Amino acid sequence: MKPEIAKLGYISLVSADLEKSLVFFRDIIGLEETEEKDGVHYLRAWGDFQHHTLSIQQGDRGHVKHIGWRTKTKEDVAAFGKLLEEQGIAVDQVDAWKTPGIGESISFQVPSGHTFNLYFDVKRPPVDEHRRSVLKNQTYKSWAKGISPRRLDHVNLHTSAESSATYSFMEEVLGFKMREYLISDEGNVLAGWMSVTQLVHDVALVSRPETPTKARLHHISYWLDDSQDILRAADILREHHFEFVGPGKHAISQALYLYVTDPGSGCRVELFTGSYLIFEPDWQPVEWTESERSFGNTYWGDSISKKELVKETIEAL
C-alpha cells in the first residue's frame, strides 16, 4: 500500500524585512505567534491546530525555503523516503524537532524545483489563557485581531520547468488527485489544481516559462468563513493603506478571493472562501481550455493581469 499525504502543513518563508512581515502577518492578517526561536517566528491562524502553519525569518531577499506536508501515519514518512529514492530523487533526513513543533521529516525537490518536507509527528503548544477559545474544538479566540482567518488553505506554485513531469510526479508518487486543469491549444497542461483532501486544491501548479527562476511561489492562502469576511478584510486592508486585488470570484474552484502582498517578503496572500468540496470517489477532472483562461481566473470582480501573475512571484528553493 502506497504512503499517503494527509494535508498541507506549513510554509517556511524568508523575508527581506522581518519587522514589516511580522506586522503584516500578526497585526493585519491576524495570525497568532506560537514561538520565536533563533530568529525564526512561528505563526498559525486561530483554527489551526499544529504548532505553526507559517514560519518567517530574516534574509537578504524574500523567498520560500520549503513547504511542509503532513503524512497520514508516522510510517508514511519513511515509506515516502524509500519510494522517492527508488525514483532517483535525493532525500535528506531532518532530525525531529529541529523545526519547532515538527518531528522527524524528509526533504526533497519535486521536478518543478520546489522543496517539500514530509513529516507526521507534531507538537501542539498550549495556548495562554487570555488567548484561548472557550470552545474545546478551537485553538484561539476568533476575531481577536486583524482579518483573522480560520486556517491555512492552499499554496499556488509557478515553474518555468517542463511541467508535465511534475504533474505526473505529484499524482503517481505523492498521491495528489487532479481536480481541475487548464490545457493549451496544443494539448499541454498549463495549470493544475490538485488535492489530497476533499478541497478542490491543496496545491496549484502553473506553467510559466517566463518566470525569472525555475521554482516560484505565486501565493499562500488562508481560509475565511464566508463572503462577509472577505468584505471585512477589504475594509481592514484599506484602513491600513494596502493595495489589493479583488474581491472577486474564480470560475475554477468557484471560490471568492482577495489578494494582498506582504511588504516585507513580497509573498502574496490570498484570502479565500466559498469554493466546493469533492466527495465523489470517481471524480473526473474538469478541463478548461486556453481560450477560457481569463474566465477561469475571474468569474466576476477585480482580476489579476497576466503581467501581475508573473511579476509578483517569489523564489521557492
| Count of all residues that appear for the chain in the document | 317
For the entire predicted model, the pTM comes to: 0.95
Question: What tens digit of pLDDT does each residue of 42-84 get?
Answer: 999 999 999 999 999 999 999 999 999 999 999 999 999 999 9
DSSP one-letter code for 291 = G
Contacts 24+ apart (CB under 8 A), 107-111: 107/66, 108/84, 110/166, 110/169, 110/170, 110/174, 111/161, 111/165, 111/166, 111/169
Domains annotated for the chain, with CATH where assigned, are 5-119 (3.10.180.10), 151-316 (3.10.180.10)
Averaged over successive runs of 10 residues, the pLDDT of the chain (317 residues) comes to: 96 98 98 97 97 97 97 97 95 96 97 96 93 94 95 96 88 97 91 97 93 92 97 97 95 97 97 96 96 93 63 76
Question: What tens digit of pLDDT does each residue of 248-268 get?
Answer: 999 999 999 999 999 999 999
Cis, peptide link before residue 247, omega less than 30° from 0: yes
